[in-house]
């Protein structure tokens, strides 16, 4: 994403970029979910769960997915997607297209109704998977698989920060649109 659709949302995006740079980029020696090593780590959970950033994240992500018709819900693999989906859901109530949220468990429950997808009824509905950031795309694709088993129609994966480490290619190879609000250039970081 190079810019948001309105000056107000772009101001939110720029403010979020500054917060990420100041508080969510950690330098050191890290192992990513892919097993690869990195010299920095973008810890978006620090901000998706922060009162200063969450409302803006909701507005930014809602703007990012706004051009996709027929979406009724957003969510993804727990834990990273949960606060993003909730932020989008809350911000969407201010629009003429309110969205519901869902949570995809890593595994189906072994009790109760045995569900893997909780929250909004997704059967037969167009949905978007959200994530804070993605290295390989595998978390998003695991959520997509569970959603498809529930009869949902996932159409896109939308991330706050695109690490440019292969997730986009994996998501697009699965037939889904890839959307990112912020990329490494915005953060002044080089791909790893």
- Binding annotation for orotate: 135, 163
Distance CA 43, CA 180 (A): 16
Distance CA 192, CA 77 (A): 24
Handedness of CA 12, 14, 20, 23 (dihedral sign): negative
Residues in the annotated binding site for 5-phospho-alpha-D-ribose 1-diphosphate = 105-106, 109, 111, 131-139
CB–CB of 81/130 below 8 Å?
A: yes
Across the strands, what pairs with 42? Answer: 25
> What is the rounded radius of gyration, in angstroms, for the C-alpha atoms of the chain?
16
Among 43, 32, 35, 97, smallest CA distance to 71 is for 97
For residue 91, give both structure tokens: 């911000």
CB–CB of 46/24 below 8 Å?
A: yes
CB–CB of 155/172 below 8 Å?
A: no
Residues in the annotated binding site = 105-106, 109, 111, 131-139, 163
Q: Which residues contact 96 (CB under 8 A, 6 or more apart)?
A: none
């Amino acid at each position: 994403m190079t810019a948001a659709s309105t000056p107000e949302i772009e101001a939110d995006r720029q403010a979020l970029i500054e917060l990420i740079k100041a508080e969510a980029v950690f330098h050191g020696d890290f192992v990513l979910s892919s097993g690869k090593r990195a010299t920095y780590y973008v810890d978006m959970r620090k901000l998706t769960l922060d009162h200063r950033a969450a409302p803006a994240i909701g507005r930014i992500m809602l703007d990012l997915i706004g051009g996709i018709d027929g979406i009724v819900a957003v969510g993804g693999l727990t834990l990273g997607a949960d606060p993003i989906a909730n932020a989008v859901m809350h911000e969407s109530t201010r629009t003429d297209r309110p969205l519901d949220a869902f949570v995809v468990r890593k595994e189906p429950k072994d009790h109760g109704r045995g569900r893997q997808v909780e929250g909004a009824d997704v059967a037969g509905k167009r949905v978007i998977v959200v994530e804070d950031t993605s290295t390989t795309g595998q978390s998003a694709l695991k959520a997509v698989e569970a959603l498809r088993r529930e009869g949902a129609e996932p159409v896109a994966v939308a991330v706050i920060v695109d690490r440019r480490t292969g997730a986009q290619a994996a998501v697009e190879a699965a037939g889904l649109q890839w959307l990112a609000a912020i990329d490494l250039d915005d953060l002044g970081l080089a791909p790893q």
